[in-house]
Amino acid sequence: MGKTSDQLQGTLELLVLRTLASAGEQLHGFGIAERIKQVSAEALRVEEGSLYPALHRMNEEGWVLSEWGTSDNNRRARFYKITTKGRRRLTQLERDWARHVAAVKRVIRHA
């Protein structure tokens, strides 16, 4: 599978963008990771070492906007929200993911 690292990166982008789109509010990095863990019934855990570089990359791509604010526990944190460009990227990633899942299902059924 030549695209493994691209697929993993795309999966993280998909999870983060979907989380931000569904949140209806700005979230800081820890909040994004917690929401993903919670919604996945703790099956998915996003590590800081993967999350923050991904958020930085998505910010550079214009898929998210970030601004400094204060977290619930009075700590300075960078908060993220999805942009219109990010919503378009999310639609593309969801389509790609659906194709990937369908392909895996075909192999499982017919291999």
46: domain CATH number is 1.10.10.10
- DSSP string for residues in 89-102: HHHHHHHHHHHHHH
Q: How many domains does the chain have?
A: 1
**1-27 tens-digit pLDDT:** 445 445 556 899 999 999 999 998 899
Q: Considering the entire predicted model, what is its pTM?
A: 0.87
Question: Distance between CA 46 and CA 32 in Å, rounded?
Answer: 9
Please give the sequence-ordered ranges of beta strands (E in DSSP) within 1-111, or none if there are none: 27-28, 64-70, 76-82
**65-80 tens-digit pLDDT:** 999 999 888 999 999 9
pLDDT(41) > 90: yes
Range of the domain at 18: 4-110
